[in-house]
Amino acid sequence: MKKRLDMHKIAKALGAERRGKVISTGGYFGAMQVLADAEARFRVPAGGGRPTDPAWTERRLVPLAPRTLKKLEEISAKVREHGMNVEPMQLAALLIEKTTEQLSEDQAEDLVRPRRRASR
């Protein structure tokens, strides 16, 4: 699993204050971060075709709500404005990987821990 950046170390070394996260899935910086990810990963396959991440060897069907697909289309359109041709479902794959990598063990445990139900 990829390690997260040590933001505390970065802030200390720069003599900077951490002012909080920028939204990583929407807006200008979200689109630019996706662009950085896509540019770093995507390669044109040897046999030609759309650039993709060579490590994506598995294929699954992912159910989506229409509003989620719409949002993916909007963000990928923003990324395309910056010259990187990324498709909505390629963007979905990038975001799934990013979130999975950033999820700590504790957070993952919270997701699967049975929730207490209010009982009277």
Partner 1 sequence: MAKTRARKPRRVLSGGRKRVLVVLFVPSVQRDGATPVDQSRWVDSSLEMFGRVFGGATAYPKAKGIWRDDEQDGALVKDEPVVVHCYTTPRDIQDDRNLAELGSFCKRMGREAQQGEVGLVIGDEYFAIRDFGEE
Question: Taking the complex as a whole, how short is the minimal distance between the CB of residue 40 and partner 1, in angstroms?
Answer: 4
Length of the chain: 120
The span of 36-44, 59-67, 72-80, 110-118 binding partner 1 (CB under 8 A) equals 36-44
CB atoms within 10 A of CB 46: 7
Map tokens 């993916």 to a residue. 72
Q: How far does Cα 5 stand from its chain's mean position? A: 15
Question: Taking the complex as a whole, how short is the minimal distance between the CB of residue 120 and partner 1, in angstroms?
Answer: 43
> Out of 47, 48, 55, 63, which residue is the one contacting partner 1 (CB under 8 A)?
55
Question: Taking the complex as a whole, how short is the minimal distance between the CB of residue 33 and partner 1, in angstroms?
Answer: 6
Q: How far is CA 101 from CA 5, 16, 97, 107, in A?
A: 12, 26, 6, 12
> Out of 1, 20, 67, 113, which residue is the one contacting partner 1 (CB under 8 A)?
20
Note whether 41 binds partner 1 by CB under 8 A.
Answer: yes
- The pairs formed by 61-70 with CB atoms below 8 angstroms and a separation of 24 or more are 62/89, 62/92, 62/96, 64/92
Note whether 39 binds partner 1 by CB under 8 A.
Answer: yes
**Binding residues for partner 1 (CB under 8 A):** 2-3, 5-7, 9-11, 13-22, 24, 29, 32-33, 36-37, 39-41, 43, 54-55
